[in-house]
Structure 1
Amino acid sequence: MGRRQHVTSTGFRIGGGPEVRRLGFGAMHLATEPGPARENSLAVARRAVELGVTLIDTAYLYGGGANEELLAEALHPYPEGLLVTTKVGVAKSHPSDEWKLDGRPAVLRDQVEQALRRLRVERIELLQLHRIDPETPLADQLGTLRDLQDEGKIGRIGLSEVTVDELAQAREIIDVASVQNRYNLLDREHEPVLAACEAAGIAFLPWRPVAWGESGARAEVAAVAAELGATPTQVALAWLLDRSPVILPIPGTSRIDHLEENLAAEGLHLLRAHRDRLDRLPELA
């Protein structure tokens, strides 16, 4: 596949699709059980959209589909331009009832069909394979998603927690629109994957975008935050946005005040000196 840059001054076109704001929202932490906690979750999801979020991430794994149902209750009918992306490929095994990777074609197809029903849509604009199942041929897993794409049930296909080699293999089978790997200021294990995504114009959605390591690293982030009149979390998110134009962080929270704090990071400007200090943090940790 050729190089595809879909970056604009205000957002990113994932797989060449509609533009989304680069700072999104991860719904994983939203409580789904009936009662006050669920009502709060509905309010947080709605507030995210009110604040201009256009990318919301969920997955079948998050409550066995309960998180998807929550988002549909909160936001359907979805406002124009809102991209709700979900993930499949993890299922409960029987009789142990434990979650495990399951990329068998029949399982993937069923999970996509169920996600369509729960999200109340006819097409999932971005569907990500939660993990590659090592016990199922990659061509079978991605071929199933490609078939569903051909049927109009999936718009674009993404991957999660992949290596550079796995990404290259996948791109021989499908057009990869996004990669969702663990990555943050203090955890850059997947730097080579980010570089591969940047070279190809593939959206990189870091999960766990904010994490704190050794005390020395935390102190340095706090010092930069104090100089900028911001919070350490805002500094961590601003660093990600500044790190690469293909990075679309999806910080999650169950509190409206934290949601507002996270989204305000978009307006935080890091000076070159700040970036240099933050770039060196893994050496300090």
Structure 2
Amino acid sequence: MTGPRWPERTGRRPGADVAAIRSQTAAAIAAGRWHISPPPQSILLGGVRCLHFAAPDPQGTVLHFHGGGYRIGCAEMMTLFAIALVARCGVDVICPDYRLAPDHPFPAALNDGWSCWTALRESSALPILLSGDSAGGGLAATIAAHGLPLALVPAGVILLSPWIDLSVTSGCYDRNAATDPVFSRASAKASAEDYLQGYPADAPLACPLSVDLHGFAPSFISVGTGEVLADDALRLHAALLAVATPSTLSAIDGMEHVAVMRDRTGTGAQETFAAIARFIDDRLSPLAIR
């Protein structure tokens, strides 16, 4: 693929709050916050900078997109999750540093994700699973959904507290406001506005729920029942089942937003990681690959 798949738009400078978080993240990287030895390889995949966490004899590849409301986050923050998958599942893990809003509004992140996905498909004979947490989960689901007409269907899709509906109208934002200390209606609305910048939240390129999901890959969806994104996960799970797509939903009481990525000692985190590993094992089994 040469150039963006979907036409891009001019962005704007981030607000002081987003700029401050990005600065803190850059300082943490420079200070070695997520350093491991040996370090992952920094690669270009489809023109996008990625971190490649390599297994000695990989059975497949997990292409994982980080969260952060499309405004913050980086590949380095996925290090502990990535090396745990490498060790447990014997897979390569690739984490892209896709472009962030509001500097690069929709569809820049989608173009970057698509470029990584198609470049990996072209360069590797290994089975590939698409994966993502929070906004990265929405990105992974959208890429998987738009691969259907082109027969670019991954071996599986892993969605951790996925942010699917950017309209921010779910009742969960009110019902679960007191039980979700990580994400909120206010932060979701600000993130969606910075990312979409006028693009319709319910358009197929922005919302996988607006796409015909027939043929979507078998999926694993994880969420805490007290999250403000609980309805997003439940709606996507129901939509996949409605078109006879195998979908496993893990909804855990008391588990915080993407706990498996942030704190493996937290409620539900170990259980979620074990379920992810089992899903990867199943999707990479000779019978599933055939």
TM interval, short-chain normalised: 0.3 to 0.5
- Kindly indicate whether structure 1 or structure 2 has the higher relative contact order, using CA contacts under 8 Å at least 6 residues apart: 1
Say which one has the larger Rg: 1
Q: TM-score, normalised by structure 1?
A: 0.37
